[in-house]
Amino acid sequence: MNIPLDRDRPVPLARQIQGHLERLIADGLLAPGVKLPATRDLAQSLRVNRATVALAYEELVAAGLARAHVGQGTFVAGEPPARPAGRVPAPAPIDWVALLSRSARTAAADEERRRALGTPAGASASLVSFAGGMPDSALFPTEAFRRVLNQVVREEGGALLQYSAVGGYAPLRRYLAGYLLRFGVEARAEEILIVNGSQQGFDVIARTLVDPGDPVAIEQPTYTGAMQAFRSFGARLLPVEWDAAGPRPDVFERLCERQTPKLFYCQPSAHNPSGLTMEPEVGRRLLATAARHQVPIVEDGFDGSLYYGPRPGTPLKAADRAGVVLYIGTFSKILFPGLRLGWLVAPSPVVERLQAAKQLADLHTSALLQAAVHRFCERRLLDRHITRVTAEYARRRAILLAALRRRMPEGVTWTDPQGGFSLLLTLPPGLEATTLLPVAAERGVAYTPGPAFFLDGGERTLRLSFSSVPTGRIDEGVRRLAEAIKMAQRQPRPRRAEREVVPVV
């Protein structure tokens, strides 16, 4: 126990020890029944005579704050007493909220917004949840990954568990250079930076390019994590609305002419939340506008392997001749989200600055995990895994679309996802997804309300994610949702229920 003693004060040391212990007892930091340190041990640690500590304990016992048992020691007695009148009050606790930075306050506001859009508390265990936009953990190749992890530990453990290069594990960067060629993205290994998932990619880009107050163009609807990352650095977000073909080039052009955005964020392929893919002509127009106005495009490249149409969408980076695209990729959707392993592709001058920003944050991404993923990919285990899960997710998508066509009431529409894990459903006029959610939860189905993906608006939309819902539960979940919509159409809007926080991914 650390008790500060001031030997220059006129107050006896025994009284200082007694006073400190009285305060700990009064504050509840020493609870009733807690054994106090042995007098010999406390005297040694405080460098005082043992009789000094014994005197302090005797005074505590005399005041009824402690009880002594022969052969057992001294224990805190009873409930903590009220502070004696006249004692100098303890300093007020520090006001941490007032000390929060602007970015931390912004993050807190976003947290409150997520709380308001969360799943209602008390949802039953039989709930069919379309809320989680994540891969199904039942499909994870855990045993195969465990074997390669053990192998790299045996063969390279000494080096991999040491500090590593901030840019990433060199063999993995070389592998990614070849892997990205499948989708038309040409990048040298030195233009690839390994990051801790796409979320860190947003962070280092914003940290490198965005100053407080800078305008940032961002598609709408869009991925919640990207909005939060750019907003946390003080960016002023400007929406570029999606239509059936992608982000509207005319809106982006006007923003570039009038606002000069610092960058433009978009998801051309397997868009979250809609699952749509940008049309090639839209991509060409966006690239031309970005090059003409010198506005970088941050492309969130959902892996081109997880698509369900006749062909995957071509990344903007593949057609980027002016070097304006920063491309973000991740293993989270195609392998394990828990790895937190992704990459950035950027021209050499920019990748050096991004690398410097990453080094300030965490020095480097785990070399052990990078080596294990490289070994997994090199043995073509990733290719086999992608083939298997893409077929399964395509089957779940088909079941969801068929159930929606069969069960949804008139006036409900939805997107036809060409990739990814989800679709965006639009409710009939007069209904809002946030107020419908408690009604749906009562009937045993959950989803993510659309406003989570919009800067403003989206009240009539909701996201349905099919990737982590077992095939045998999809139709039942749609049936329950359809019943909730019909019930809400017949009844007044319900009061908002208390909600718990559910991460939006």
> Percentages helix, strand, coil for the chain, rounded to the nearest 5?
45, 15, 40
Nearest Cα to 290, choosing from 262, 268, 314?
Answer: 262
Residue 7 included in any domain: no
Q: Which residue in this structure is represented by tokens 């030997």?
A: 7
Contact 202/227 with Cβ under 8 angstroms? no
In a domain, 184, yes or no: yes
CATH code (residue 202)? 3.40.640.10
Question: What is the pLDDT confidence band of residue 88, given thresholds at 50, 70 and 90?
Answer: low
Q: Are residues 351 and 416 in the same domain?
A: no
Q: Which stretch of 162-166, 261-265, 294-298, 301-305 has the lowest confidence by average pLDDT? A: 301-305
What residues have CB less than 8 Å from 174, skipping those under 6 apart? 189
Total domain count, the chain: 3
The pLDDT value given to residue 89: 61
- Same-domain status, 279 and 375: yes
Q: What angle do CA 351, 357, 363 make, to 5 degrees?
A: 105
pLDDT above 90 coverage of the chain, percent: 71
Work out the average pLDDT over 85-102.
Answer: 69
- pLDDT tens digits, 179-234: 999 889 999 999 999 999 999 999 999 999 999 999 999 999 999 999 999 999 99
Residue 25's nearest CA partner among 69, 74, 83 is 83
Say if residue 256 is in the same domain as residue 371: yes
**What is the domain-level CATH number for residue 443?**
3.90.1150.10
Instruction: Quickly state the pLDDT bin for 112 (edges 50, 70, 90).
Output: low
**Rounded distance, CA 57 to CA 59, Å?**
5
Backbone angles phi, psi at 357, to 5 degrees: -65, -40
What tokens appear for 257 in the block? 């002419």
Q: Does residue 71 lie in a domain region?
A: yes
Q: Which two tokens stand for residue 73?
A: 């020691």
Is 5 a member of any domain? no
CATH code, domain carrying 43:
1.10.10.10
Judgement on whether residues 328 and 292 belong to the same structural domain of the protein: yes
292, 319: one domain: yes
Domain-located, residue 232: yes
**Token pair of 165, please?**
């290069």
Q: Is 251 in the same domain as 360?
A: yes
Q: Which amino acid is at 153?
A: V
Residue 380 gets the label, from left (phi > 0), alpha (psi -120 to 50) or beta, of left
Domain co-membership, 114 together with 187: no
Residues 443 and 305 in one domain: no
pLDDT surpassing 80 at residue 501: no
Taking 90 as the threshold, does the pLDDT of residue 121 lie above it?
A: no
Domain annotation covers residue 461 = yes
pLDDT tens digits for range 321-371: 999 999 999 998 888 899 899 999 999 889 999 999 999 989 999 999 999
Domain range for residue 59? 13-76
Amino acid 502: pLDDT = 46
Residue 437 has pLDDT above 90, yes or no: yes
Report pLDDT for 500. 44
Q: Please indicate, yes or no, whether residues 69 and 145 belong to a single structural domain of this protein.
A: no
Identify which of 11, 453, 464 has the alpha carbon closest to the alpha carbon of residue 227: 453
Residue-averaged pLDDT of the chain: 89
Please identify, among 57, 76, 95, the residue that sits at the C-terminal boundary of a domain: 76
393 pLDDT more than 80: yes
Torsion of CA 402, 406, 407, 412, to 10 degrees: 80
402 lies in the same domain as 435: yes
Residue 84: pLDDT band by 50, 70, 90 thresholds? low
Same domain? For 207 and 271 the reply is: yes
| Domain match, 302 and 340 both | yes
Task: Tell me if 1 is assigned to some domain.
Answer: no
Domain-ending residue, one of 325, 350, 379: 379
- 476-to-289, 463, 464 alpha-carbon distances in Å: 46, 17, 14
Instruction: Look at residue 501 and tell me if it is in a domain.
Output: no
